[in-house]
Chain A
Amino acid sequence: MRFHWFHLMPYQDLPPDFSKQYHSVWVDPPSHLFDPAAGHRMYNEYIDELEFAAASGFDGVCVNEHHQNAYGMMPSPNVIAATLARSTSNAAIVVLGNSIALYNPPIRVAEEFAMLDCISGGRLVAGFPVGSSMDTNYCYGQVPATLRDKYDEAHDLIIRSWTEPEPFAFNGKYTQLRYVNLWPRPIQKPHPPIWVPGGGSIETWEWVAKRDYMYSYLSYSGYKRGEKVLQGYWDTLDRLNIEPNPYRAGFLQLCAVADTDAEAEKMYTEHARYFYDKCLHIAPNFAEAPGYRTLKTIEAGLSTQFTAQAGEDRSKLSWKDFLKDGYIVGGSPATVRDQLKDVIKRLNVGHLMVLLHFGDMPREKVLRSTELFAKEVMPHLRDTFSEWEDKWYPQPLAEQDRRSPVASVGVA
């Protein structure tokens, strides 16, 4: 069983009445709300937290891409990943990921990922999300109807650029390049493992399965919704006669660990509320541009989690509410590990990404929750799925061949 520590990097200083006073947390929250000096503090604390997680024995540290978003301050996750490639030594650098249809030309992603793989000594996981509708359509102006086609083409170009040894010409519908010739190339062969975060679009299941990639569902709505989405994925694999190796799947779960259940409620309720009330205050009219979901997905009755949640009032939710529907797995180490054991088995996921920082959680709580998780939860679940081989985890250079920073100050 693999455990990864995921950071969204939310902006912590949104005004108390944010969800009443402002239209949306995403796309159009006015940028004057962002104080760069506070940003300086948050970025640095957040990078500390990721480094602490890596040093605590998590298998990977995860960063992702969002635009014009007050709960995700990483328009370029590669910038954060580059610092982690230097400051961590063993954890996988999981960039989950780069929305490859947004980059012109998309080989920019191939180049930066190759750089990250080289700097980290082959520890990169290359995430290729289609990207949310807010990010891709509303913030980056992509035409919804052609987004997936453009994504497919970008994917093919990136894979070819990583694997073909000689320069080639690429005459695509969206990108035309006379000379594709990637410098540098990734360490991992044929290329870094590819993880595809999906939001529940049915075509993605088959797309991922046929290419032997890893599918992950980054849910903020807990394992109950997660079960439905992942079941669709496992059914697809079954239909294609592909073995249900749990390492083919990942799942994001908000977790919060304290010494006791009561202590967890006391420590984390306010931060959970900040996350669900402010960070997920997404205006219904931005939830999804027409054409973002395919008709097949709409017909299947599968909405994005943002469409499902947009416009709901979550300012009054209690800790019990957060636990009830599985939005958060929280409590004492024993409570958390029992529940996670059940979640992991039920969803059949070999890669669990935990969100131990959420909302405006201060550093000491994040470190405490992370430490308890690493020491008292993780070891008890390690052996789950040991009968399966994880072919979707990075294959770095041998440890003795990897360089670390000469003037390393280290963390923790």
Chain B
Amino acid sequence: MAEAKKASIRNGLFDVQLWSQGSGPPLLYLHGWNGMRQWPAWLDALTGRYHVVAPQHPGYGESTGLEHLADFLDLTLYYLDFIDAMGMERPTIIGHSLGANIAAEMAALSPPSVGKLALVAPTGLWDDKNPVADIYAMTPKQRHALTWHSVEEAEAKGFIPKPETAEEKSAEGLEQARSLAAGAKFLFPIPDRGLKKRVHRIKTPTLLLWGSSDGIVPPTYGPLFKKSIAGSTFVEIPDAGHEPLLEQPERSLEAITRFLWD
């Protein structure tokens, strides 16, 4: 079982909820714009070789301190402080969506701080011809339709929360509002905070992983990232949307472990 705990960063300015498990070299998992409610089960596949740490971003879940982050640079520096505070030396980083964007910024701003990078459907670049979906101007239903390859299966597997009582619904609504608002601070109205000016500085081995039916960040962004990051690898996972690690965990993990253990 992954251990849930709190960590204090910058003398309590940030009180962070995180899960950790496994032993070995450090691996940081950074979740996407939609948040992370608990330890993601698929990370179990990595705990035999790594000490895996999965924090909630400030403003998500139990993590505090969002008010101290004015922009994406602040968020990136916060995570550089976070790995120092956790004693994670040159961690491998797996990031998803917003989390992959943060990982890319860390690697671009401070190349020596970061080990291998696995970026799953990262935000951060912008292409007028294939715009990233406007997740902040959508009803939940519209968002689900673009997020999942199969909404039906995602519902059946419990990836989409289904509150039942009025109390559960109101708690879920609040949790959603909180996560969306936190992510929007860094992605609204256009998820481009200038990464294209820095992305060439990423020198570490990088895997770009995309679900081929991703309607949030279209897979056309894969080649854009690949072109900007020398020596990177782009892998598309069929029958998966914006959450390939949930919809196709085996295929996705196969690609990730092949890259990490290479």
Contact = CB atoms under 8 A, between A and B. Distances in A.
A295 B178 contact: yes
B131 to A, nearest CB: 14
Given A173-B70, A289-B188, A298-B173, A138 B181 contact: no
Given A138-B137, A141-B189, A289-B136, A299 B184 contact: no
A176 B142 CA distance: 40
A392 to B, nearest CB: 33
B224 interface: no
A145 interface: yes
Label chain B's interface by main secondary structure.
helix
B160 interface: no
Interface of B: 66, 70, 136-139, 142, 173-174, 177-178, 180-185, 188-190
Contact of B181 (A27, A144, A286): A144
Given A285-B137, A285-B138, A285-B139, A290 B189 contact: no
B142 A285 contact: yes
Contacts of A284: 139
A161 interface: no
Contacts of A69: none
A289 B138 contact: no
Interface residues of A, number: 19
Contacts of B182: 145, 291
Contacts of A27: 137
Contacts of B180: 290-291
B59 to A, nearest CB: 8
A99 to B, nearest CB: 16
Q: Which 5 residue pairs are nearest across A and B when measured between Cβ atoms?
A: A291-B181, A290-B180, A145-B185, A290-B181, A141-B189
A339 interface: no
A83 interface: no
Given A138-B137, A138-B189, A295-B178, A289 B70 contact: no
Interface in A265-314: 284-286, 289-291, 293, 295, 298-299
Contact of A137 (B142, B178, B189): B189
Contacts, number: 58
Contacts of B174: 295, 298-299
A146 interface: yes
Nearest to B189: A141
B137 A143 contact: no
A137 B138 contact: no
A299 B182 CA distance: 17
A298 B174 CA distance: 7
A203 to B, nearest CB: 14
B189 A291 contact: no
Given A285-B139, A298-B174, A290 B70 contact: no
Given A137-B189, A138-B189, A284-B139, A145 B178 contact: no
B188 to A, nearest CB: 5
Contacts of A173: 70
Interface in A2-27: 27
A298 B181 CA distance: 12
A137 B173 contact: no
Interface in A69-123: none
Contacts of A138: 137, 189
A141 B137 CA distance: 12
B193 to A, nearest CB: 11
A144 B184 CA distance: 7
B66 A289 contact: no
Contacts of B189: 137-138, 141, 143
A291 B180 CA distance: 7
Contact of B184 (A291, A293, A298): A291
A142 to B, nearest CB: 8
Contact of B177 (A146, A285, A298): A298
17 contacts: A138-B137, A143-B184, A143-B185, A143-B188, A144-B184, A145-B181, A146-B70, A146-B185, A285-B138, A289-B184, A291-B177, A291-B181, A291-B184, A291-B185, A293-B177, A295-B178, A298-B173
Contacts of A293: 177
